[in-house]
Structure 1
Amino acid sequence: MASLRERSGGGAFELVNKFLAEVWRGFRVSLSRPTSIIINILTSPLWLAFFILTLRGYGVVRIGAFELQLFLWSAYAFALYSSWLWGFGHGIINEGYEGILEYLISSGQGVFLHALGFGVSYSIYTLFDLAALILSFYLIFGLTVTVKYPLILALSIVLAMIQLLMISLIYVLLVIKLRSSWVITDIMQFVMPILGGLIPSEASGYFRDVNMYSPIAYPFILMRESALGVMEIPIPLWLQLTYSLITVVSLSVITYLLSGLFVRRMRVEGRLGLT
C-alpha cells in the first residue's frame, strides 16, 4: 500500500514537473522575439484609437465615455480570439512542421499537457494586450476605465482564456488531421465571431438571441456586463458564470479526450502529416 502511494505521489510530482517545464518553455518562446511582441501589442489598440478619432473628426458618431469603454472591451474580446486562434494555434501548428510535436509524442508526452503549459505563459501576452488598450485609450481620449464588478470581470477573462485555449487546440488537431488549414480557418473566421459573443447584443435582436443560446458566448458577454454594469441578456450574472464554467469544463474534457485520441493515432501512423 505504501509503495502504491509512493508511486502515485511520484507520478503526480513528475506530471507537475513536466507541466512547469512546458510553462517555462512557453515563456522562453514567447519572449524570444521581444521587438515583435511589443509591435503586435501596441499596433492594434493604436489603430482602433485612430479609427475612433476619425469617426469623431467627421462627426459620424457621437462617442462618450460609455461608448469608448464598450469599444475597448469589444476590441479586447476580438484581440483574445485573434491571439489565441491565430497566434497560439498557429504556433502549435508550426511546431508540427518543425517536428516538435512528433518528438513530444515519441517521448511519451501528450499534446494536451504541452498546450496547457504553453497556454499559461501565452495568457500573460494576452493580458499585455488589455494593458495596451487601456493605456492607449487613456492617452488619446483621457478615458479612465471603470469596472462595475471587478471579481466577475477577472473570472470572465480567465474563463475566456481557458475556453479559447481548448478551442485553439481543437482547431490545431483538425488542421493537422485534415492536413489543410485554410478550410478550417475560413470556417472559424466566419462562425466564431457570431457564436463566440464577440458582437454586443445591442447590435440587433438577432445577436441578442445568438448570445443567449450560444454556450461559448457567455464569458465574453460577462466581460462586457461586469465591466460596464449593463445587462446585455436577461440572465443573472451568477447564472451566466455557472453556464460559462460548465462550458469550459466540458470543452476541457472533450479537448483532453480528442488530444489523447490524436496522440494514439499519430503513434500508430508514425507521422503528423504536415509535410
Structure 2
Amino acid sequence: MYRARIARLISTELWRGVLSELRGVSALIEILTSPIWILGLVLAISIQNPASLKDPISLKNLCWGIVVFIMISDKLWLVGHHLEREKRLGILEQILATNTPIALHAISASLTAMIWTMASASTSIALVFPILGVDPRPANPALLVVGYILSDMMASGIALLYSNAVLVMRRPWIATNLFQFTLPVVSGLLPYNLSPEAIKRIIEVNPLSYPVEILRRGATGHQSLPADLYMALAMSIASILALYSLGIALIAILRKSMLKKGL
C-alpha cells in the first residue's frame, strides 16, 4: 500500500512536470533556433581557423561539439529555469501547499528537456551538417548513444543544481546567457587540440568534458581529450551522481526556506 502510494506520487509529479513544460513556447523556440546557432557558431569559429573548414575530421569534431552547446543551452533554460517559471505562474506555491517534494518535480523537467534536446539536435544535424558537407553517420553508434545519454544527464544535473540559484536571482536570464556560452567552451565545444592552452587546462578538470569526449569519439572515431575511455566513463557516472545528489539536497534546503519565509 505504501509503495503504491509512493509510486503514484512519483508518476503524478513527473507527469505534472512534463505538462508544465509542454505548455510554454521556450522549447519550441530552442528547436527552431538551434540550426541557426550551429551554423553561425561553426562559421564564426572557422573564421579564426579557416583550415578547419577544409579538414573533414576537424569540421566533424567541431560540429558535434556545437551539438553539445545546444544540449547545455537547452538544459540551462528548460531545466534551470523550470522552478522559477513555476514560481511566476503560481504553480510552485501549490506544490509547496501539498507538501510534495520539489526535487521530484524539478527532475521531471529533465525528462521533458531530454525530448526537446533530442528534437533540437536531430533538426540541426539534418539541416546543418549537409550544408557544411559533414557526414552525420557515427563511427561507433553504440558509443555515441552512451556519450549522448551521459552528456545529457550531466547537463541536466548541472541545470538542476543551477535551478537553486535561478530561484533567488533577480535577473537570472543574464547569468544564463553568460553560462550557456562559457560552460560549453570549457566542456569541449572546441576539440581539445584546437583549444587555447588555458582552456585545455580547464577542460581536463571539468567533469562535463568526459561525457562530451565519449560522445565525440562515438561520432567521429577520433580521440580528442587525452583520457582513457574507461576513466572517462567512470568520471562521467561519478560526476552525474554527485551533481544530482547535491542539486536535490540544495532544493530540499531551499524548500524549507520557502516554507518558512514564503515565496
Q: Which residue is equivalent to 2:39?
A: 49
Q: Which residue is equivalent to 2:257?
A: 265
In the alignment, the residues of structure 2 paired with residue 138 and residue 250 of structure 1 have an alpha-carbon distance, to the nearest angstrom, of 35
In the alignment, the residues of structure 2 paired with residue 226 and residue 241 of structure 1 have an alpha-carbon distance, to the nearest angstrom, of 13
What is the Cα deviation at residue 149 of structure 1?
2.7
Query: Structure 2: which 5+ runs fail to align?
Result: none
In the alignment, the residues of structure 2 paired with residue 140 and residue 48 of structure 1 have an alpha-carbon distance, to the nearest angstrom, of 11
- 1:38-77 matches, cutoff 5 A: 38=28, 40-46=30-36, 48-49=38-39, 60-61=50-51, 62-77=53-68
In the alignment, the residues of structure 2 paired with residue 265 and residue 33 of structure 1 have an alpha-carbon distance, to the nearest angstrom, of 28
Q: In structure 1, which of residues 23, 29, 37 is the aligned counterpart of residue 14 of structure 2?
A: 23
Q: Which residue is equivalent to 2:246?
A: 254
CA contact (8 A) 1:215 1:243 kept: yes
Deviations 1:10-61 (A, max 9, x none): 3333333233233333443444467x7555323321453377679999x954
Distance 1:260 1:217, change over 3 A: same
Please tell me whether Structure 1 or Structure 2 has the larger radius of gyration of its CA atoms.
1
Sequence identity of aligned pairs in percent? 25
Q: Which residue is equivalent to 1:111?
A: 102
Q: Residue type of the partner of 1:98?
A: L
CA contact (8 A) 1:123 1:161 kept: yes
- 1:199-238 matches, cutoff 5 A: 199-202=190-193, 203-238=195-230
In the alignment, the residues of structure 2 paired with residue 109 and residue 28 of structure 1 have an alpha-carbon distance, to the nearest angstrom, of 17
Q: Indicate the SS of the match to 1:198.
A: coil
In the alignment, the residues of structure 1 paired with residue 42 and residue 252 of structure 2 have an alpha-carbon distance, to the nearest angstrom, of 46
What is the Cα deviation at residue 167 of structure 1?
1.8
Distance 1:56 1:82, change over 3 A: closer
Q: Residue type of the partner of 2:104?
A: L
- 1:151-166 matches, cutoff 5 A: 151-166=142-157
Q: Which residue is equivalent to 2:79?
A: 88
Q: Indicate the SS of the match to 1:196.
A: coil
Distance 1:69 1:11, change over 3 A: farther
Q: Which residue is equivalent to 1:144?
A: 135
In the alignment, the residues of structure 1 paired with residue 10 and residue 130 of structure 2 have an alpha-carbon distance, to the nearest angstrom, of 39
1:130 aligns with 2:93: no
What is the Cα deviation at residue 99 of structure 1?
1.7
Q: Residue type of the partner of 1:127?
A: M
What is the Cα deviation at residue 261 of structure 1?
1.1
Q: Residue type of the partner of 1:242?
A: A
Q: Residue type of the partner of 1:174?
A: A
Q: Indicate the SS of the match to 1:215.
A: coil
What is the Cα deviation at residue 174 of structure 1?
1.5
Q: Which residue is equivalent to 1:100?
A: 91
What is the Cα deviation at residue 143 of structure 1?
3.7
In the alignment, the residues of structure 1 paired with residue 106 and residue 98 of structure 2 have an alpha-carbon distance, to the nearest angstrom, of 16
Normalised TM-score (structure 2): 0.84
CA contact (8 A) 1:83 1:126 kept: yes
Q: Indicate the SS of the match to 1:89.
A: coil
Q: Relative to structure 2, which stretch is displaced further, 48-57 or 66-75?
A: 48-57
What is the Cα deviation at residue 182 of structure 1?
5.6
Compute the RMSD of aligned alpha carbons.
3.0
What is the Cα deviation at residue 70 of structure 1?
1.9
Distance 1:135 1:101, change over 3 A: same
In the alignment, the residues of structure 2 paired with residue 28 and residue 89 of structure 1 have an alpha-carbon distance, to the nearest angstrom, of 17
Count of matched residue positions in the alignment of Structure 1 and Structure 2 = 260
In the alignment, the residues of structure 1 paired with residue 188 and residue 23 of structure 2 have an alpha-carbon distance, to the nearest angstrom, of 33
